[in-house]
Amino acid sequence: MQLSASHLAGLLNGTVEGDPEVFVRKPSPIEVGGEGTISFLGNPKYEPFAYTTTASILVVSKSFEPKEPIRATLIRVEDVYSSIAFLTQEFGKIQKSLAVRSEKADIHPEAVLGTDVNIGPFSIISAGARIGNHVWIHEQVFIGPGVTIGDHSVLFPGVRILKECEIGQYCTVQSNAVIGADGFGFAPQPDGSYKKIQHLGNVVLEDNVEIGANTTIDRATLGSTIIRRGVKLDNLIQVGHNVEIGENTVIAAQTGIAGSTKIGPNCRIGGQVGFSGHLKIAAGTQIQAQSGLAAHVETPDTALFGSPAIPYNDYIKAYAVFKKLPEIYRQIHQLQKAVTPKEK
């Protein structure tokens, strides 16, 4: 399917500069471009590509003032990044418009499938699974017994959704994510060995959640590990058993969250952050990358940095002093020499 500049401008509440009847079939990065594609200029550092891109349409902000002629038709909008999010969703709908159930998929007769469900080759839908309407299941996906998948959700190749886990509506699970594996629970024995604790709960993803590639979310020991509405998890994140992540919290790659920690809504957590178990993190907490949390965060909207994490501004001040320690030590040594009486 192809869309014209005038049609796209209408969708984005934008204005057209150039040919309103030029057509595009897909988005492209501004530095790649290509005839029949639409690109975006949201970050000023990419402005030089605006003058060389071969894309047919370029979305820019209303305040953008080009310094050189631009070949592409421009669509001027209030917010380029919101336009990117909207159009990628629209083009995604076009790509998913023709649902197909591959003959190479293994669909158990006791599974319940909604309308317009796509199932790719070598995917497995187990007994008792319930798949909603307009769900897109790519190749080599495993859906375990009793799993539920809400309407309009997308599971990319290699995803594993294990027994009795629940996925809400409009969720996206990227390739090779594992939802519902056993948590890391072992009871120490008198002889020094460890006995496995069975995990009998599940994982619940509420609506509009996105899970990155190779992220793992462990099932609860009892009850549920819960990822609340609107949460966005990056690639390579480990979420332990019985964790709860609040609405609209975003977490960057390689973060690890130990069991039973409760993270509040609207938190922003950088990459490689580590959480000890059984913590409570207040709403709106912001945590800088590579920080370590070993204590509760009780005050909402706190910004933290360091390992163990301390208030962000305190860490920046302390680090400024830390960098000067060698020079401070040298000065102290010189002062000691100056005030120490010389032996006769």
Neighbours of 68 (CB within 10 A): 9
Neighbours of 145 (CB within 10 A): 15
Respond yes or no: is residue 152 known to be catalytic. no
Region for 338 from its dihedrals, namely left if φ exceeds 0, alpha if ψ lies in -120 to 50, beta otherwise:
alpha
Q: Name the catalytic one among 7, 108, 241, 333.
A: 241
Query: Tell me, what DSSP letter sits at residue 219?
Result: P
Residue 157 tokens read as 């190749």
Residue 172 tokens read as 């996206």
d(CA 269, CA 239): 13
End-to-end CA distance of the chain: 96
Q: How far is CA 10 from the centre of its chain?
A: 29
Active site residues: 241
